[in-house]
Amino acid sequence: MSRTSTSIELVDYSPVIAHPPRVQLKGDDTPPLPLANSTEDLQPINPPNDAVSAEQNLNPDKATTAIVLSCVVCITGISSLLAGLVTVGLPAMAHDFDLGPDLLLWPISIYSLTCGCTLLVLGSVADVVGSRFMYLTGCVLQSAFTLACGLSKTGTQLIIFRGFAGIAISFCLPSAVSIITGTFPEGKSRNIAFASMGGGQPIGFALGLTLGGVLADTIGWRWGFHMAAILNTVVFGIGFFGLPKVDEAQAQTWKRLREDIDWIGALIASASLALLSYAFASISGTSSNIKSPGTLATLIIAILLIPTFIFWVGRQERLSRPAIIPNSLWRNRIFTVICIGVFATWGVFNAIESYLTLFFQEVQQISAIQTSLRFLPAPFSGALANLVMGLIAHRVRADWAVIFGMGLTTLATLLMSIIHPDWSYWYCAFFAVFLNPVGADALFTISNLVITSVFPGKTQALAGGVFNTIAQIGKSVGLATSAVIAASVTANSPIKDKEAPEALMDGYRAAFWYLFAMSAATALLFIWGLKGIGKVGVKRE
């Protein structure tokens, strides 16, 4: 296969085939990879999404297109809106609930923790019971737990309900990916759908920051959760009446749940991810926790579960049984590089957003409203990056697009590394806020297209779970590692008052330099690892 080819080549499969389908990303050095573990695995009791008639599945009318896009954009947008609300409203929440330093970041961290460790399981379940059913269930749960956050009477209640909300969104995110691949054909329309889904994130986050800042300084942060719950309920109504029923569960669902899902592999992976996320969240709250016996034990157990998981899914593959993430996929260079890149990019993006907030409020000591206003450029650049990627993904080489986006994000981290607190917002901070989302949002469309292409049509929700799991864990690791660096440098600062803006800035600057190095290394990884990927999102003949 020529390295100069410029597309992703997939071999179609039908419900009855003699051999597993094979996939190879152009430019990959490894042999084509099987998409499933056995021919048995590729003869599902219910037809996969690919088997739905072209009239119903591959040529959606304008009304269906509008409803699907609205649902997938809103579900990512509302999740990000809540993240923005909590980020900018955290000081007010901490004051109202008297949250100490060890619990300060938990309203943020617990959401990623519970979401990250349930995505794989719920993505697998969605592929069996139907992505529409799982999406709507997640909408109901998200509305309920978001409302509960706004009604919380103690910090403990807020943290617990945020954790349940993280599980609720895990019903929706993998299902949204499956709904897209089951509704739109390969090519420009699917690219735009993924780009639209990604565009909901920066818009939602910036809206949450702005709304959260205004509410925190006026009628109270609780109203942000109430508004989000109402909006989420409206989205449920739209989805209930409008989402296409392309993959509704049929007969023998319980048998498929028992036989078609790698439950042991999913539980091992989820346990490892949960323990890792807990440890990193604990470190993010108080960096000294890294030395505590509980945190060390949690990290050790989590790390030991990784080779256990690798052994288990390898055994499943050898026995031609379902494996939640087959080891063979990691031999595909482009798939592996994309996953590592998503992990690192989302870690940098999330950490930069968090430290920008702290820089504005704790170092420059401006109000929550002023802080939220300074984040307004982010949704414009993020939405623009997603829109452009949706329109050009099938026309330009994917590696060029991703490397260009990462270069802009790297520039944003560099600007924050050299910034001086006395400088005007327009010198560095504005450009950092504007450029920071570009790398993650350019990668969003490309990575979803690559990851869904190497999973068979009947496991598209699982593919969405893989992407979102990697992104969520990347967020936790990026925030935790940068927090350790920032706290360490501040603790060793010559300034006696460690809460003084000057001492805090020493730590934040060290964190920004670390994130700059991480972003630059990721860009170099893409330059090497995505060589020969060509174009993605190209419609197959």
pLDDT in tens, 141-177: 999 999 999 999 888 889 899 989 999 999 998 898 8
Confidence tier at 250 by pLDDT (50, 70, 90): low
Query: Could you tell me the residue ranges of all domains in the chain?
Result: 60-244+253-529
Q: Is the pLDDT of residue 371 over 50?
A: yes
Q: What is the pLDDT of residue 448?
A: 82
- Spatial distance between the Cα atoms of 378 and 349, rounded to a whole number of angstroms: 11
> Which position has the higher pLDDT, 338 or 463?
338
Would the pTM of this model clear 0.75, i.e. be above it? yes
Is residue 408 within 8 A of residue 351, CB to CB? The reply is no
**CB within 8 Å of 304: residues ≥ 6 apart:** none
Contacts of the segment 517-523: beta carbons below 8 A, 24+ positions apart: 518/344, 518/347, 518/348, 518/478, 519/344, 519/345, 519/348, 519/406, 519/409, 519/410, 519/413, 519/439, 520/410, 521/344, 522/340, 522/341, 522/344, 522/345, 522/348, 522/406, 523/403, 523/406, 523/407, 523/410
Q: What is the pLDDT of residue 510?
A: 94
Q: What is the pLDDT of residue 285?
A: 61
Q: What is the pLDDT of residue 312?
A: 93
Q: What percent of the chain has pLDDT over 70?
A: 85
Q: Is the pLDDT of residue 254 over 70?
A: yes
Q: Is the pLDDT of residue 342 over 70?
A: yes
Residue 327, burial from CB neighbour count under 10 angstroms (0-12, 13-18, 19+): middle
Give the amino acid at 383: A
The gap from C-alpha 154 to its chain's centroid, in whole angstroms, comes to: 29
> Which position has the higher pLDDT, 299 or 101?
299
pLDDT (mean) for 468-480: 84
Number of Cα atoms under 13 Å in the Cβ half of residue 182: 31
Q: What is the pLDDT of residue 58?
A: 56
pLDDT (mean) for 22-40: 39
Order of strands across the sheet that contains 33-34: 8-10, 22-25, 33-34
- Judged by average pLDDT, the poorest of 106-110, 174-178, 304-308, 398-402 is 106-110
Q: Is the pLDDT of residue 66 over 80?
A: yes
Residue 464: closest CA among 195, 267, 202, 181 = 181
- Spatial distance between the Cα atoms of 124 and 25, rounded to a whole number of angstroms: 24
- Spatial distance between the Cα atoms of 134 and 114, rounded to a whole number of angstroms: 17
Confidence tier at 505 by pLDDT (50, 70, 90): very high
Q: What is the pLDDT of residue 404?
A: 92
What string of DSSP letters covers 237-271? HHHHHHS--SS---TTHHHHHHHSS-HHHHHHHHH
Confidence tier at 463 by pLDDT (50, 70, 90): confident
Confidence tier at 287 by pLDDT (50, 70, 90): low
pLDDT (mean) for 500-505: 90
CATH value of 60-244+253-529 in 1.20.58.100, 3.40.50.720, 3.40.50.300, 1.20.1250.20 = 1.20.1250.20
Q: Is the pLDDT of residue 436 over 60?
A: yes
